[in-house]
Amino acid sequence: LLHSSGPHPFLHDSHTNNSHLQIPPTLHQFHNVCLTQHYLSPTLRGLVYLVPPNHTSLTNGNNNDDNPRHCIPCSAPLNHPGGWNGTHKNEAEVGHKCGYVGIHAMFATDISDWSECINREESQSKLKAWAQFQIPARAEVVKFYEGVRVMNLAFDSNIGHDMWDHLLTYLPHWYEFRFGGGGGNFPIDGVISHNFRNCMGGSHVDYNIDNTGVDPNNDHGGNPYWYCQILRAIDAFGGAEEI
């Protein structure tokens, strides 16, 4: 079985060749996790963390005690101090860590366990109360990227979040990858965005824009949303392809 690990500060992770870079740890990396989509947003904000059966998130800290809420994401906002290991107001109720801003943590031994758990009547009741339904609602298979480092572009047409929570926290990493100790080598193989298709690909073309910033009937050229234009202009992720 696969087990998850992380979050690791991206530049200090053993899977990169850039451990000598010294910049603030604003970018983190997970291994062997599954992403889900919030039902009210096209962004991938749910993170299924795969753990062994004796993990505290599944046992409530007692090997003889099953935690039936290990798959339930906590309510928003996840703005508690302490990052991934910080304490959210729902932690005691769900029996596991909640994640942090933009990432709602869920725990399971495998994707079948997660799917069975999240479809229980108690789980569905809590998902409704906290408005945390996930897509897919039930999963049997996953798409696995083996040996691929994927950047999740989870921005959402909010100029404040896009500017401060995403762009300005990534720029120090981009600068080091491009001009600093990274020597122009970007340790990123792929970029994924459920919110803005063609964010990284092609050049700008004019076409009708709906409230997501893209014409769903036109896949040509680059997405005209301002953040996507900036990412393309600075070659934000090197040779990484949109997947």
Most confident of 30-39, 116-125, 209-218: 116-125
CA distance 203 to 223: 8
Please name which of 224, 230, 225 lies closest in space to residue 167, comparing C-alpha atoms.
Answer: 230
Interior CA angle at 201 toward 195 and 205, to 5°? 90
CA distance 46 to 134: 7
- On the question of pLDDT at 219 being above 60, the answer is no
Is the CB of residue 83 less than 8 Å from the CB of residue 75?
no
- Give tens-digit pLDDT for 70-104: 999 999 888 888 888 889 999 999 999 999 877 89
pTM of the model: 0.81
Is the CB of residue 173 less than 8 Å from the CB of residue 23?
yes
Strand, coil or helix: 241: strand
